Amino acid sequence: MKDIPTDIPGLWENYKKILTAKGVTTPIVVLHGGYGKNNMGDDAILDVLISRVRNNLSNAKIIVICHGPEYVRAQYDVVSWHFKSFQAFKAIVKSHIYIIGGGGIVNKINTYSGYRYCKIFDMKGKFLFIAALLAKIFRAQTLFYAIGATSFPDSAVKFLARLSLNFADVVSVRDQLSMDNLKAIGVKKDIVQVLDPALSLVPADKQQAQVILNALGVGSSGKRIVGFNMRYVRDSSVDNDDTVAEAAKLVDYLMRDKDCEVLFLPISRHLSEHFEDDFDFGMQVKARLSDDKDFYILQDYYHPATMMAILGLMDFCILERLHAVILSFKMGTPFFVISYDNKVAEFVKQIGRENSMMDLKDFSAEKVKVKLEGDCNV
């Protein structure tokens, strides 16, 4: 990781030159992504991107196009519009700099919103590419910023990705697999690899996190605390009910045999999509426990910096979502990873922790026990 830059070298200096040459003193910078839908990874990326824009283009008017504009407005005091709104369209065509800001913009697990048999007509994996082409037509500087592209579910996604990225001014990815995939589908632009923006997030104060744990009663027994996160997936090869059952067995083992408290960490709390609601997963685990007195579930959705501080208070973590792993790593908390997608495996490989990872398709309580007793030494 040490040779991978945290940001695109020379990016903001180049933007300043372009804006000066055009006589633009108050540039409109549009940040477009899956923000504001109670997903800690997307919101962590947004937090860092807003900071970078403000630090480098202090006069910029920032407009965020997202899923939850109310959350974004309240959190960051910026203009924000829902991605399906006419205001979002206006922002795109009027932007001076248009940024698709990080995250796994296409992958095999969560691309589709419901079209099981006519996936080529589902816009969920295609909308961002079309929006980027629109911004370029209206002469914005277009940037794909630290994106993940670990798989391409259909030919239309490949076509739109190839077209929009080749027309973009700057393309950067967060892992080698995404770079290889983009080149394989015919992206000819120079592609820069950078670290996931969430690695630059600054944690909240430790005491703030401790207050949250104290309110739940976590840590009052003096036992070690295991942070635990798992999720549902849309994958026909994975039975989510079996995953929940095995997760419950694993929690039972941690509490009974290892004498730990287990804190379930909902990294995504989507209000309408079942597959994106980790809290429900945690409740299903709780319902299957023989004794839940040492099992706790974080009730609220917190700012990523706060969740980062909470991860820093854990003695050990078992994690599935990518940004839970990223922030746990940044806080120096030991962890074991259940990888549900290549994007997770790519990061774990990047930090040289392959021995602390298992594929979701191989997941069982017994197999994790073996790893925890051996390589992880829990």
Calpha distance 69→47 (Å, rounded): 14
Tell me what the mean pLDDT of segment 258-287 comes to.
95
Going through the chain in order, the beta strands assigned E by DSSP cover 28-32, 61-66, 79-82, 97-106, 141-149, 170-173, 191-193, 224-228, 260-264, 295-297, 316-319, 335-339, 357-359
Give me the chain's average pLDDT, please.
93
Please determine whether the domains at 11-200 and 206-372 fall in the same fold group of CATH.
Answer: yes
pLDDT, residue 156, reads: 85
> Considering the chain, what percentage of its residues have pLDDT values greater than 90?
85
User: Taking 60 as the threshold, does the pLDDT of residue 124 lie above it?
Assistant: no
What mean pLDDT comes out for the span 267-275?
89
Q: Which residue has the higher pLDDT, 102 or 134?
A: 134
Which amino acid is located at 81 in the chain? W
The CATH architecture annotation of domain 11-200 reads: 3-Layer(aba) Sandwich (3.40)
Q: Output the CA angle 199-202-208, nearest 5 degrees.
A: 130
Q: What is the pLDDT of residue 115?
A: 46
| Torsion angle (degrees, nearest 10) of CA 212, 217, 220, 224 | -80
pLDDT at 105: 80
pLDDT of residue 373: 85
The top-level CATH class assigned to 206-372 is: alpha beta
116 versus 255: which is more confidently predicted? 255
- E strand or H helix at 352, and its extent? none
> Mean pLDDT throughout 291-312?
96
Residue that wins the pLDDT comparison between 352 and 237:
352
Mean pLDDT along residues 203-208:
97
Residues 6+ apart with CB under 8 A from 131: 32, 65, 83, 92, 98, 100
- What is the model's pLDDT at position 108? 60
Which of 20-24, 154-158, 217-221, 267-271 bottoms out in mean pLDDT, i.e. has the lowest?
154-158
Question: Residue range 49-71: average pLDDT?
Answer: 97
* pLDDT at position 106 over 90: no
Euclidean distance between CA atoms 321 and 140, whole angstroms = 33
Listed by start position, the domains of the chain span 11-200, 206-372
